[in-house]
Structure 1
């Protein structure tokens, strides 16, 4: 057996020193700028999150519930919040559930100056029996750890964090409407809290979870949207952090979105490079269904996880369901690079069947057309249609598992 040539998380300085008897593959792996291991930011093993130490302080002033039809995404919040502090000396402190309240942070706190912040977006659902369910929380915690590691924030046990989120969600269960299409949106967030203007790994951090009851993403019904292909601004680039869920990725997208909206389009379709590779739509992953020009076979295509694409939980769910249910019907499920020119050609030849975004908030978002270089690329929908067959099936299939109608390991009962 070949001995290990480098430690798992070798310091950057040693990454460019060829060890004795190093193979070319070993040198390539050692020269990578960042470890793909979520433990990259952890130098020593400190106290991990311990759910058994949870301290609960219930509010003395419960909020009145809003009518389900009056809920606006991300505007109303529940009675409590979950908080866990961390410091570099001892690790994670006791978790607390407290009444929802403001945070008190020094103006020099590093999150304000250097964007030490990452987050997750996930939902809790109430099934027909009144049980509370989380959808694939293991995937969210896996990505949360990858995001925090990339910006030198601490990692944690995914199992412990899921346990705490489940307890927090059950405490707030009265805020989850029972109607289909409604849920409790959960926002786990981690910030660096060290008071310093020096640039370096934060010596302290805060992980907190807040929750917001939400209704259907499209309150007036499932509606197809129009996009503007955007090449004058770039969402992500190779070697960057577009594959991590960092707050710093989102604010720069607002101005291009406002510009697209001023021209009558709901969102941006982010293109990359001279080739104009299709990447994501707004803050969602993007899928297209086309007929292969050479074979005539139906294909469901999305961009690959090359470091510029967010590892969407819904993206993974769509791909898994497609391989499970569409592939046996003759569909080819493909993760590859493709260009806007390719989509335009497929549309002009009648081979572009449909297109849709995929994300936690909407599950799927059908696309009617894409504005590109002064022309409108139509994405297969007829004038009276708001969704294609695949997008509709995906929405129904995923919802069935979210609400427990389709018993599956993706649904975690709190």
Structure 2
């Protein structure tokens, strides 16, 4: 098959239905003769040394009380943009924050060709800016882009560009402990074409949003609505990648959870295995059936679980803590949780992620029954330990290799 025939087939497939042509992840990781713009076909990678800066002439007014920022409602003055055109990345540019004009046939609108990341910048007691394990975010960002057959980029060079943006916007990083500036890198296909095919043009952009404390009213536990009517992910799907299309379908089950007085959803697969808690990884502390104190979280093996940076950090800290007989990545079923609850072996459950670090769970509802396990709403000691430990590392109070100090730049 020649390139013209394959592209024609892809276009026809899009007309018949987006599901009629599937590009497998393994295929997308290879250099493809039909799509020389993918991966190794990139002729010019991101070059952070050539970044250009255009400062705004109309800076925004900052809030005196950073709690007024909430989450994701306010944006900083500048943004980073990098385009990919004709097999080449353009010169990275930091420009005043602005809207995008978009052609109605742009591929990201029609087929969701977009991936994103979520990371934070923190200010330490000396006013220096720190990131938390940022290279892990960049590596995951690249993995997600590959799942959508987008061209490879150099994650180290992209991180250098992001650091430059963060330092320009350092006054937008709140000074208080527990506060931060949320960094959102996005990659999206920008082809103007109604057929379904891997994008030949795309844009990377990064925006920054100052955010208040996630627990401004104190850390309170939530109850989860456990269900498998609506699946978040499945084997062979994209649950292990941070793609825009993974998140909108979770809104409906979340609303159904609200109706049952649950703040979030415990997503199960059709066999009743736990996948994630809302948009967070799920952690369980119990005494397993072998009478071992265990911290367990669903495995990444089948690519249904997002490889969270906070998740990975908690697993490492838990192993180092010496508080568990076992720290496990493996299957957890809802039946096991119910049984452990009935036998008083279920000690702590929490979600974890960039936004909250940890989100304590006080119980769950399943098939019309409520299973509460946090006595008097009291939060788990190890959950609190993890929150305080990671927060201390993020703000540079505890010296740790995970805390990435951004050097002052010219």
The residue number in structure 2 matching 1:131 is 128
Task: Give the TM-score normalised by structure 2.
Answer: 0.89
Instruction: Return the alpha-carbon distance in structure 1 between the equivalents of residues 188 and 326 of structure 2.
Output: 41
SS at match of 2:348: strand
Equivalences for residues 304-319 of structure 1 within 5 A: 304-305=299-300, 306-319=302-315
CA separation of 1:406 and 1:39: change in aligned 2, threshold 3 A = farther
Instruction: Return the alpha-carbon distance in structure 2 between the equivalents of residues 224 and 292 of structure 1.
Output: 23
How far off its partner does 1:371 sit? 0.2
Instruction: Return the alpha-carbon distance in structure 1 between the equivalents of residues 261 and 332 of structure 2.
Output: 26
The residue number in structure 2 matching 1:393 is 385
CA separation of 1:330 and 1:199: change in aligned 2, threshold 3 A = closer
- Residue in structure 2 matching 1:358, options 334, 352, 357: 352
List, as ranges, runs of 4+ consecutive aligned residues in structure 1 with deviation greater than 3 Å.
36-41
Instruction: Return the alpha-carbon distance in structure 1 between the equivalents of residues 76 and 313 of structure 2.
Output: 28
How far off its partner does 1:293 sit? 2.4
State the Cα deviation string for residues 382-401 of structure 1 (Å, max 9, x = none): 1141x201110111111111
Equivalences for residues 214-293 of structure 1 within 5 A: 214-273=211-270, 275-293=271-289
Instruction: Return the alpha-carbon distance in structure 2 between the equivalents of residues 133 and 39 of structure 1.
Output: 35
SS at match of 2:121: strand
The residue number in structure 2 matching 1:382 is 375
Equivalences for residues 1-400 of structure 1 within 5 A: 33-35=24-26, 41-66=38-63, 67-87=65-85, 89-273=86-270, 275-294=271-290, 296-305=291-300, 306-325=302-321, 328-378=322-372, 380-385=373-378, 387-400=379-392
How far off its partner does 1:37 sit? 8.4
How far off its partner does 1:38 sit? 5.9
Task: Give the TM-score normalised by structure 1.
Answer: 0.88
Instruction: Return the alpha-carbon distance in structure 2 between the equivalents of residues 360 and 212 of structure 1.
Output: 14
The residue number in structure 2 matching 1:20 is none
Instruction: Return the alpha-carbon distance in structure 2 between the equivalents of residues 179 and 338 of structure 1.
Output: 38
SS at match of 2:144: helix
Greater shift in the superposed pair: 112-121 or 369-378: 369-378
How far off its partner does 1:299 sit? 0.1
Check whether the contact 1:122–1:186 (CA below 8 A) recurs between aligned residues.
Answer: yes
The residue number in structure 2 matching 1:28 is none
Instruction: Return the alpha-carbon distance in structure 2 between the equivalents of residues 331 and 216 of structure 1.
Output: 34
Structure 1 unaligned regions, length at least 5: 1-31
SS at match of 1:383: helix
Check whether the contact 2:28–2:147 (CA below 8 A) recurs between aligned residues.
Answer: no
SS at match of 2:225: strand
State the Cα deviation string for residues 63-99 of structure 1 (Å, max 9, x = none): 0001212111000000000000002x23211000000
- RMSD between aligned residues: 1.6
